[in-house]
Chain A
Amino acid sequence: MKTNAFLLSLILSLSCGNAFASTTEAENFLKKSVGEVVEAAKNAKDAPALASAVRPILLKTISFDAMTRRAVGPGWRQFTDAEQKDAIGFFTTLIIRTYSAKFTPGELPDVLYKAATETAPGRVEVATTTLYKGSRYEVVYRLEQPEGKGWRVTDVVIEGVSMIANYRGQLDAQFKSGGAGAVLGSLQKSIDSSK
C-alpha cells in the first residue's frame, strides 16, 4: 500500500514537473521570437519592409499548417492535397501581413509576460500585457508542438479576439457557399485586394 502511495505521488510530481518544463520552454521560445520581431520592427523603414523582415522569423515561429487547418474548419478534409497546399500558402501570406500590419515601423511595443499555463496536454498559453502607442492590450499566444517540430505559435488572441476563430467564421462561410474553390478564391482575392 505504501509503495502504491509512493508511486502515485511520484507520478503526480513528475507530471507536474513536465507541465512546468513545457510552459517554461514555450515561454522562452516565445520571448525569443517576439524579441526578434521587435528587433525587425525597429530596423524596418516602412510597412512592406517590415513585412519582409518579419516573414522569415514568423515562418519558423508559427505553425501555419495548424493555423490554416483550423481556420478552414471541418471543410478541410474535403480539400485535395494540392488545395491544402495552396490554402496554406495563401493563408501564410495573409497571416504575416495581418500580424505585421499591427506594428508601425519605429514604434516598439513593450511586452510584459505573465504566467504561462498548460491549458491542454500539448498546448501552452502565454498571456502578455502589451503596451503600444500609449494603449494597453492583453495578448495571449497559444503554442503547441506539432509533429515534434518544437514549439510553434498556433494562435494570437488580442483582447479576447482570436485570429484563427475570426478567420474560421469567414472561411467556414466561404466553404459552405462554394467548397474549397470558394475558400481559395476568397483568400487569393483578399491577398490581391490588400496589396
Chain B
Amino acid sequence: MFVLGAIVCVLAPEAFAESDRIYSYTTQGTVPVDLNQGRLPKNSYETYYLESAIPQPSGPKATPKPKATPKPKATPKPKATPKPKAEPTPEPIPNPKPAAITVTKKSPPAQVAKPPKSSPKPTAPPVDDLDEYSDTVKIADPIEPANRGVFWVNHYLYKFAVRPLTKVYQTVLPKPVRTAVHNVYDNAEYPVRMVNHLLQGKPGRADLETRKFLLNSTAGVGGIFKPSDRFPSLAEVPSADTGQTFAKWGIGHGAYVVLPVIGPRSVRDTVGLAGDVALNPLTWVPIGGVAQAISIPLSTPNTVRNMDSRLNAYDAATENAVDPYISLRGSYIQYREKAASK
C-alpha cells in the first residue's frame, strides 16, 4: 500500500499538495489560476495570491462577481474583495505580502492608446487555460532601429540580387546536380557537427555522425550521394553547431543583431558562426588553387548552394506577417531554441 501511495504521489502530486489554490486579480475579480504541473505560468506579469491571502467579502454588495470569488471561508471579519467594478469603493489589498507570489520577470503593463471600449467582453479571460504563449522566448533587441534598417536593406538585397542569382543557379544546374553539390558540401562540414556533438557531451551522436560521414564518403562517392538517408538512425542525427554548443554550456543569446547579407543572429550565434567557420575544412586549405579568402565565403551559411532553402525559410517568416521584422526575429529565436534543446 505504501508503494502504491508513493506511485500515486509521483503520478498525481497535486492530489497531495496543500489545499490552498492560487488566484490572480483581474478586472473580473479574483480568478483561480490553473497551474501547469504545479508551476505558475512563466513570464507572466500577474501577481498571484494564495487562497488564504485573499480577503473575504463583507457582504453581498461587496462582491459584484461572486462567481470569481474563491470558496467562502468562515472568516470572522472579512474585508471587501479588491478590484470590484461595482459601486462599493474597493479597499486596497489587505496585506497580501505574506502569501503573494510575484513572477520575477516584470515588464510594464500594456499601454492601450485607444480609449476604453464601450462594451468590453465580460467573460473573456486575458489568456485561456491552455494558452502558453506568454512563455515564448524573447530576446533583447537594444539596437532595434539599426537592426530594422539592416533588415530592410537585406530584404531588398534578397529580392533584387540573391533571389535572381538563385534563379540563375537553379536554371543553369539541374536539380540532381544541385543536390549533389549540396550533399558534397554538407558532407565536408562533418567536423563542425562532430566536434560540436563532442563539446556538447554527446559522444553517441558524434559516433553516428562519423558513421554517416564514412558511409557517404565511400558508398556515396565522396558525398555526392547520401546513402545514409536510408538508415533512420543516421538520417535523423540532429545537426550541431557552435552556437548550440554555447547554449548547452548555459550561455544566453545576448542581444539580437541583424547582420548584413547573413541576416538574423544573436550575439552568441554570431560568435558561434566564427567557430563554425574555423571548424570547417573548407577554410583550412585553399581548394584547387582557389584562394582561402574565396573558400571562406563558400563555407558560410549563405552561400549559393543553400540560398534557395534559406530564402524559403525567410519567405515563410516574412510573407503574411503583420510585422515582418518581428516575425523574422521571433522565428529565428524559436528555431534556435529548438535546435539547442535537441
Contact = CB atoms under 8 A, between A and B. Distances in A.
A123 B335 contact: no
A70 B131 contact: yes
Chain B, interface size category, equals: 35 or more
A79 B130 CA distance: 20
B290 interface: no
Nearest to A189: B322
A72 to B, nearest CB: 10
Majority secondary structure of chain A interface residues (helix, strand, loop or mixed): helix
B187 to A, nearest CB: 16
B118 A162 contact: no
Contacts of B138: 169
Interface stretch (A20-28, A30-38, A53-61, A177-185): A177-185
Contacts of B179: 134
Interface string A37-73: 0000000000000000000000000000010011101
Given A70-B127, A170-B330, A164 B133 contact: yes
Contacts, number: 153
B126 interface: yes
B112 A83 contact: no
B174 to A, nearest CB: 13
Contacts of B129: 122
Contact of A8 (B8, B120, B121, B317): B8
A128 B205 CA distance: 21
A161 B329 CA distance: 11
Contact of B112 (A78, A165, A170): A78
Contacts of B1: 1, 4-5
A12 B323 contact: no
A79 B322 CA distance: 18
B110 A176 contact: yes
Contact of A179 (B114, B130, B331, B339): B114
A120 B36 CA distance: 8
B130 A120 contact: yes
A177 B113 contact: yes
Given A8-B8, A80-B120, A169-B136, A179 B335 contact: no
B292 interface: no
Best-buried of A66, A167, A182 by chain B (most CB within 10 Å): A167
A173 B326 contact: yes
B73 interface: no
B118 A80 contact: yes
A174 B323 CA distance: 9
A70 B110 contact: no
Interface of B: 1, 4, 7-8, 11, 27, 36, 110-114, 116-121, 124-131, 133-134, 136, 138, 179, 235-236, 309, 316-317, 319-323, 326-327, 329-331, 334-335, 337-339, 341
Interface of A: 1, 4-5, 8-9, 12, 66, 69-71, 73-81, 83-84, 94, 97-98, 101-102, 120, 122-123, 129, 134-136, 144, 154, 158-162, 164-182, 186-187, 189-190, 194
Considering the complex of A and B, which 5 residue pairs feature the smallest CB-CB distances, nearest first? A160-B338, A179-B114, A74-B126, A170-B322, A165-B136
